[in-house]
Amino acid sequence: MSPSLLILGGTTEASNLALVLADRGIRAIFSYAGRVGKPRAQPVPVRVGGFGGVAGLAGYLRDNAITHVIDATHPFAAGMSRNAVQACAATGIPLVALTRPQWHPVAGDQWRDIADIESAVTALSGPPKRVFLALGRMHLAAFKAQPQHHYLLRLVDDPDTPPLPNCHLVVARGPFDVQGDMALMQRHDTQLIVCKNAGGAGAQAKLEAARALHLPVLMIARPDLPPRRELVTPQQVLDWLDHPATDLGV
């Protein structure tokens, strides 16, 4: 039986994989969570929205004769990733994650490692600063607890209302470049960057810009996830499809 893949997507890595699979004629469905108003078009069939938890995802896999699942969601989409592990275990369907290696500080970086969003909010206690809150829109409301700061936000979609009372919003879709991010931070007199350790090249420019401008960074660690096989390139996914028993590491 030819494979029929479900790509849990939303990342650049997921889109790159969809292109490779379409070029090879491998059947796949691309699933978006539905959090972006205008998601990128894909060369394979697309579905949008949640599955209804572990049971809903397991039912979807069975009903659509899915043979393999590739979790290419954002590294911080922990709920979806946990559901995928459980649903695939329940159905016996093979699962791999296509994920980005984490970022690591280099000489000149001024990072402070933070465990989670709540810890980042607490870390912002103190006098007012101009903060580049580079987190996407999902967790912005938590920072209403620190209203003394002026927040610079960069989002893919223009929200209906300002996410924070004292903020400047930039609507843009990456990837971004270092010179552009340096200019953005200088234009807004940024004093501190708060971001998630998402990894990958598309959002790395802000860290290089922070290094060049000698700005501190609060770096939020990735959430803990159940053990799973992790791959980093579409070619590794193709190799796994051809040789599923090959141990490519966890």
Give the per-residue pLDDT at 152.
97
Average pLDDT value for residue range 209-224: 97
**4-101+224-242 against 111-220: fold identical:** yes
Q: Which three-class secondary structure state does DSSP give residue 220? A: strand
The yes-or-no verdict on residue 151 having pLDDT over 80 is yes
| Residue 36 pLDDT exceeds 90 | no
pLDDT tens string 162-199: 889 899 999 988 789 999 999 999 999 999 999 999 99
Q: Write the DSSP symbol of residue 87.
A: H
CB-neighbour burial class of residue 22 (10 A; exposed 0-12, middle 13-18, buried 19+): middle
Express each pLDDT in 221-249 by its tens digit.
999 999 999 999 999 999 999 876 544 33
What order do you get walking across the sheet with 27-32 strand by strand?
Answer: 46-48, 27-32, 4-8, 68-71, 95-98, 230-231
Which listed CATH number (3.30.70.100, 3.40.50.2300, 3.40.50.720, 3.30.70.260) goes with 111-220?
3.40.50.720
Please tell me the pTM assigned to this model: 0.85
pLDDT of amino acid 87: 97
The mean pLDDT of 18-25, rounded to a whole number, is 95
Structural domain 4-101+224-242, CATH architecture: 3-Layer(aba) Sandwich (3.40)
- Res. 37: pLDDT tops 80: no
Helix residue ranges, H only, the chain: 12-24, 53-63, 78-91, 117-123, 178-187, 205-213, 234-242
* Least confident among 29-38, 79-88, 180-189: 29-38
Q: What is the gyration radius of the CA atoms in the chain, in angstroms? A: 19
- Nearest Cα neighbor of 235 from 103, 96, 27, 104 is 96
Q: Indicate the domain borders of the chain.
A: 4-101+224-242, 111-220
In DSSP notation, 184-211 reads HHHHTT--EEEEE---SSTTTHHHHHHH
Q: What is the overall mean pLDDT for the chain?
A: 92
